Amino acid sequence: MTRRTVSFDIFALAAVIATLLIGAAYADPHEDFATHCAACHGENRLGGLGPALIPETLGRMRGPVLDEVIAQGRPATQMPAFGDDLGADRIAALAAYLKTPLDKVPAWQIEDITKSREMNDGYAAVAAPTWQSDPMNITLVVETGDHHVSVLDGDTFDVLDRFATPFAVHGGPKFTPDGRFVFIMSRDGWVQKYDLWSLQEVGRVRAGLNSRNIAISADGKWLAVANYLPMTLAILSTDDLLPAKVVSIVAKDGNESRVSAVYQAPQRNSFILALKDAAEIWEVSTDPDAPPVYEGLVHSYEKGMVEALASSEGLFSRRRIEVSEPLDDFFFSDDYRNLIGAARDGSRAVVVNLIVGREIAELPLNGMPHLGSGISWDRDGQRVMATPHLKEGKLSVIDTSSWELVTTIETQGPGFFLRSHENTPYFWADVFFGPNRDVMHVIDKQSLEIVKTLRPVPGATVAHVEFTRDGSHALVSVWEENGMVIVYDAATLEEVTRLPMNKPSGKYNVWNKISFSEGTSH
DSSP string, 450-478: EEEEE-SSTTS-EEEEEE-TTSSEEEEEE
Find out whether 456 and 439 touch, Cβ atoms under 8 Å: no
- Specify the residue, 168 or 305, whose C-beta has the smaller distance to ligand DHE: 168
Contacts of 457 (CB under 8 A, 6+ apart): 438, 478, 480, 484
- Specify the residue, 27 or 231, whose C-beta has the smaller distance to ligand DHE: 231
- Specify the residue, 38 or 61, whose C-beta has the smaller distance to ligand DHE: 61
- Specify the residue, 120 or 436, whose C-beta has the smaller distance to ligand DHE: 436
Strand spans (E) along 200-252: 200-206, 210-216, 222-229, 232-237, 243-248
Of the candidates 452, 517, 508, 500, the one whose C-alpha atom is nearest the C-alpha of residue 146 is 500
- Specify the residue, 246 or 475, whose C-beta has the smaller distance to ligand DHE: 475
The backbone torsions φ and ψ at residue 112, rounded to the nearest 5 degrees and listed phi first, read -65, -40
CB of 69 to ligand DHE, least distance (A): 16
Q: How far apart are CA 410 and CA 395, in angstroms?
A: 7
Q: Which residues are at the interface with ligand DHE (CB under 6 A)?
A: 60, 144, 170-172, 212-213, 261, 329, 372, 416, 464, 505-506, 521
Q: How far apart are CA 428 and CA 240, in angstroms?
A: 38
- Specify the residue, 347 or 382, whose C-beta has the smaller distance to ligand DHE: 347
Cα 517 to Cα 269, 328, 375, 389: the distances in Å are 18, 23, 9, 22
CB of 419 to ligand DHE, least distance (A): 7
CB of 128 to ligand DHE, least distance (A): 28
Contacts of 406 (CB under 8 A, 6+ apart): 379, 382, 384, 397, 398, 399, 448
CB of 240 to ligand DHE, least distance (A): 22
CB of 7 to ligand DHE, least distance (A): 58
- Specify the residue, 93 or 490, whose C-beta has the smaller distance to ligand DHE: 490
CB of 339 to ligand DHE, least distance (A): 13
Angle at 160 between CA 158 and CA 162, to 5 degrees: 110
CB of 300 to ligand DHE, least distance (A): 28
